[in-house]
């Protein structure tokens, strides 16, 4: 496939290379050039240069260079014709094809994106004008999301009808397979096209360049649907691990302030915008991934986690620290008033929302403060226990100087010599860091282990951060753990399919049962139950211990068990017990 040469030159002449690259990289003027951090390799000082006059870029670190078409090819991982088409669309230039017309894949992608854009507008107009959307408008109005807010974020309403959207889109020329491929509709048992979303407020999800790619649909009060949110599944145009809700609106402010705020949900993002902090994005029903970090680094070097305290604390420390080093970003955590989330504060106290971001603390500071706040300091034994727990958290950090500084703070708090804890920080103690928890299964379909694996397959993020291998005692669950750990690292395909592909017969049978199990139980409660059982089992097996340090730590673990049910400290206690179990469990596991 080719283009008329004059068209390529028209696109080049109509395109500002600086404006295009600023959509991906924070640039600052330096003489006749624009300079920033290279998006193609990790660097601390800007060696990436862009010249508007020549429409070229050059990195003096990794030697990447080219014109605006090359840049779009490399950053979007597409071929030359696709880069021409993308930039032509940006400038509203119609291309003349010399051979073969559009490529089949590109033509299909245009159809899919076209269907999504038409759906966004149809849902939006339904919300604004349709009588049946009155309850949706009232709900949004009560939460400050009506009027200009609804228009800015193109909120919509899916009517409580079987095929209203499908009928409209087919009349517009979109075929059934297109609607199915983007998750807007499906063919029901009667062999009729049926809408995927019904009776829901619709939050359209856009790629960072503004293409509509997916939806999140929220039920209205009084609905009997048990699923509060229904989200689009992954499609050929939508990848959850590479999509951040709101980045299309936020990126200019993210670049300007060199900061991106990561929330949990759509209304949190909108709440930040309403409060005059338009740098917020949200993950789309998944935990923060390396792909997300890679995308954010194109725009900013500071990442603020705006989750609730428990979920922010669940973050896998090793993962965050590795990303900080690899992508040269700084991760911090915003601390909100108890029981408040960004959506609440946007209505009740928008200044507090802005202040929480301004006063965000480093990830390690946040985690350490939680440990200190949760531990008593009445007796020498209490303070010794606190020192031990605090050093476990501190020694997860890879930078020895950071560890030593925090160790000095802890020493002052507990009344130990600074030099003693500094030495522990210098050699990172002898206690291993517990890696991010990953799911497993059990052989007994009635057991908590089986329930945990079913929840992992059905709602991974709600329980995975609270599970480690030592919580699953029998052989089959441990094998399933390793199987799923490997499957979770594969970017393509679903977790279940990837796991089944490499599972042995026993693990496969268990996974297949767990995948279809009808589980209606609070995921964290299952995790806490497994932690309690795992700790008690390990303690019962640790007989004949003579090391005084281990005796004290085992005694502290027994005391911690008593606090596991406390709603104020339960999750911090769980973190502490998981660390203890990760250290002691491997020596007693059968």
Residuewise pLDDT in 10s, the chain (590 residues): 578 788 888 888 888 999 999 888 888 888 878 898 888 887 777 889 998 877 889 888 888 888 899 999 888 877 888 889 889 988 888 888 776 555 666 778 889 999 999 999 999 999 999 999 999 999 999 988 989 999 999 999 999 999 999 999 999 999 999 999 999 999 998 899 999 999 999 999 998 878 999 999 999 998 888 788 899 989 989 988 889 999 999 988 898 888 999 998 899 999 999 999 999 999 887 788 888 888 888 788 899 999 865 555 455 567 888 888 888 889 999 988 776 778 778 888 888 889 999 999 999 998 899 889 888 898 888 888 899 889 988 998 989 999 999 999 999 999 988 988 988 898 764 343 323 433 333 333 347 788 888 787 777 777 777 778 888 877 777 787 777 777 776 655 667 778 888 888 888 878 877 776 667 677 878 888 888 888 888 888 887 787 777 888 888 888 888 787 776 677 778 888 888 887 776 544 44
Among 365, 373, 366, 364, which residue's Cα sits nearest to residue 320?
364
Q: In terms of domains, do 65 and 40 share one?
A: yes
Q: How would you classify residue 439: left for phi > 0, otherwise alpha for psi between -120 and 50, otherwise beta? A: beta
Q: What is the pLDDT of residue 571?
A: 73
In a domain, 316, yes or no: yes
Among 352, 209, 190, 388, which residue's Cα sits nearest to residue 271?
352
Q: What is the pLDDT of residue 443?
A: 35
In a domain, 29, yes or no: yes
Would you call 444 helix, strand, or coil by DSSP?
Answer: coil
Q: In terms of domains, do 474 and 511 share one?
A: yes
In a domain, 431, yes or no: no
Q: How many CB atoms lie within 10 A of CB 291?
A: 15
Asked which of 44, 75, 99 is the last residue of a domain, the reply is 99
In a domain, 441, yes or no: no
Would you call 282 helix, strand, or coil by DSSP?
Answer: strand
In a domain, 409, yes or no: yes
Distances (CA, A) of 537 to 252, 473, 528, 562, 586: 53, 9, 14, 15, 12
Looking up tokens 């210098």, which residue turns up?
A: 426
CA distance 57 to 63: 10
pTM: 0.63
Sign of CA pseudo-dihedral 259, 262, 263, 269: positive
Q: In terms of domains, do 454 and 577 share one?
A: yes
262 contacts 281 by C-beta, under 8 angstroms: yes
In a domain, 369, yes or no: no
Question: 185 has which bridge partners?
Answer: 195
Q: In terms of domains, do 94 and 112 share one?
A: no
Q: What is the pLDDT of residue 100?
A: 59
Alpha helices in 359-447 (DSSP H): 363-374, 380-394, 400-414, 418-426
DSSP 173-241: T--HHHHHHTTSEEE-TTS-EEES--SEEEEEEE-TTS-EEEEEEEEPTT---S-SEEEPPP-SS--GG
Structure tokens at 434: 């517990």
Look up the domain containing 115 and give its range.
Answer: 105-236
Work out the end-to-end distance of the chain between its first and last CA atoms, rounded to an integer number of angstroms. Answer: 63
Pairing assessment for the beta strands 156-158 and 200-206 based on DSSP bridges? antiparallel
Would you call 49 helix, strand, or coil by DSSP?
Answer: strand
Q: What is the pLDDT of residue 481?
A: 75
CA distance 527 to 150: 38
Q: In terms of domains, do 86 and 184 share one?
A: no
Asked which of 316, 338, 361 is the last residue of a domain, the reply is 361
Number of separate domains in the chain: 5
Strand ranges in 418-527 using DSSP code E only, listed in sequence order: none
In a domain, 437, yes or no: no
Q: In terms of domains, do 189 and 81 share one?
A: no
Q: How many residues does the chain have?
A: 590
372 contacts 390 by C-beta, under 8 angstroms: yes
Q: In terms of domains, do 454 and 584 share one?
A: yes
CATH code, domain with 334 = 3.40.1360.10
- Enumerate residues 6+ apart whose C-beta is below 8 A from 6: none
Q: In terms of domains, do 307 and 417 share one?
A: no
Structure tokens at 348: 């009740």
Q: What is the pLDDT of residue 430?
A: 37
CA distance 41 to 37: 9
114 contacts 160 by C-beta, under 8 angstroms: no
Asked which of 211, 236, 261 is the last residue of a domain, the reply is 236
Q: In terms of domains, do 184 and 206 share one?
A: yes
Q: What is the pLDDT of residue 101?
A: 56
In a domain, 366, yes or no: no
CA distance 305 to 292: 13
Q: In terms of domains, do 138 and 210 share one?
A: yes
Q: In terms of domains, do 571 and 539 share one?
A: yes
Q: In terms of domains, do 467 and 524 share one?
A: yes
CA distance 370 to 44: 31
């Amino acid at each position: 496939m080719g283009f008329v040469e004059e068209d390529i030159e028209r696109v080049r002449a109509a395109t500002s290379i600086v404006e295009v690259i600023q959509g991906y990289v924070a640039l600052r003027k330096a003489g006749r050039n624009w300079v920033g951090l290279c998006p193609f390799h990790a660097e601390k000082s800007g060696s990436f240069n862009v010249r508007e006059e020549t429409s070229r870029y050059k990195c003096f670190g990794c030697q990447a260079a080219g014109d605006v078409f090359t840049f779009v090819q490399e950053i979007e991982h597409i071929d030359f014709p696709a880069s021409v088409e993308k930039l032509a669309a940006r400038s509203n230039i119609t291309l003349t094809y010399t051979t073969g017309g559009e490529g089949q894949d590109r033509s299909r992608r245009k159809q899919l994106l076209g269907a999504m854009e038409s759906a966004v507008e149809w849902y939006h107009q339904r919300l604004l004008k349709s009588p049946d959307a009155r309850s949706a408008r009232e709900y949004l109005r009560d939460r400050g999301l009506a009027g200009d807010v609804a228009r800015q974020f193109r909120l919509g309403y899916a009517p409580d009808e079987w095929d209203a959207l499908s009928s409209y889109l087919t009349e517009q020329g979109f075929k059934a397979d297109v609607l199915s491929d983007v998750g807007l509709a499906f063919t029901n048992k009667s062999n009729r096209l049926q809408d995927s979303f019904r009776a829901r407020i619709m939050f359209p999800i856009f790629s960072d360049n503004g293409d509509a790619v997916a939806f999140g649909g929220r039920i209205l009060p009084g609905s009997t649907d048990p699923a509060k949110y229904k989200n689009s599944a992954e499609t050929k145009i939508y990848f959850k691990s590479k999509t951040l809700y709101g980045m299309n609106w936020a990126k200019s402010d993210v670049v300007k302030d060199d900061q991106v705020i990561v929330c949990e949900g759509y209304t949190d993002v909108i709440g930040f915008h309403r409060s005059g902090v338009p740098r917020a994005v949200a993950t789309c029903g998944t935990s923060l991934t390396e792909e997300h970090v890679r995308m954010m680094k194109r725009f900013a070097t500071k990442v603020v986690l705006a989750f609730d305290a428990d979920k922010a604390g669940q973050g896998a420390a090793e993962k965050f620290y590795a990303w900080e080093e690899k992508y040269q970003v700084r991760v911090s955590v915003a601390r909100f008033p108890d029981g408040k989330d960004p959506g609440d504060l946007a209505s009740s106290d928008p200044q507090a929302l802005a202040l929480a971001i301004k006063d965000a603390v480093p990830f390690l500071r946040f985690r350490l403060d939680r440990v200190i706040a949760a531990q008593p300091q009445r007796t020498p034994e209490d303070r010794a226990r606190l020192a031990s727990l605090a050093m476990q958290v501190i020694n997860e950090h890879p930078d020895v100087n950071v560890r030593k500084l925090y160790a000095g703070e802890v020493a002052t708090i507990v009344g130990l010599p600074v030099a003693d804890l500094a030495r522990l920080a210098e050699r990172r103690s002898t206690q291993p860091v517990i890696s991010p928890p990953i799911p497993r299964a059990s052989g007994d379909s009635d057991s908590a282990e089986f329930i945990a694996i079913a929840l992992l397959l059905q709602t991974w993020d709600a329980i995975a951060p609270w599970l480690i291998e030592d919580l699953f005692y029998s052989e089959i669950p441990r094998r399933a753990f390793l199987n799923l750990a490997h499957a979770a690292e594969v970017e393509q395909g679903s977790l279940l399919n990837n796991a089944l592909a490499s599972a042995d017969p026993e693990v496969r049978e268990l996974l297949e049962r767990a995948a279809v199990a009808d589980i209606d139980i609070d995921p964290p409660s299952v995790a806490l139950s497994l932690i309690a059982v795992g700790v008690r089992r390990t303690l019962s097996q640790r007989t004949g211990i003579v090391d005084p340090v281990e005796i004290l730590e085992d005694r502290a673990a027994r005391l911690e068990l008593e606090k596991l049910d406390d709603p104020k400290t339960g999750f911090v206690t769980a973190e502490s017990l998981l660390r203890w179990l990760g250290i002691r469990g491997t020596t007693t596991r059968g």
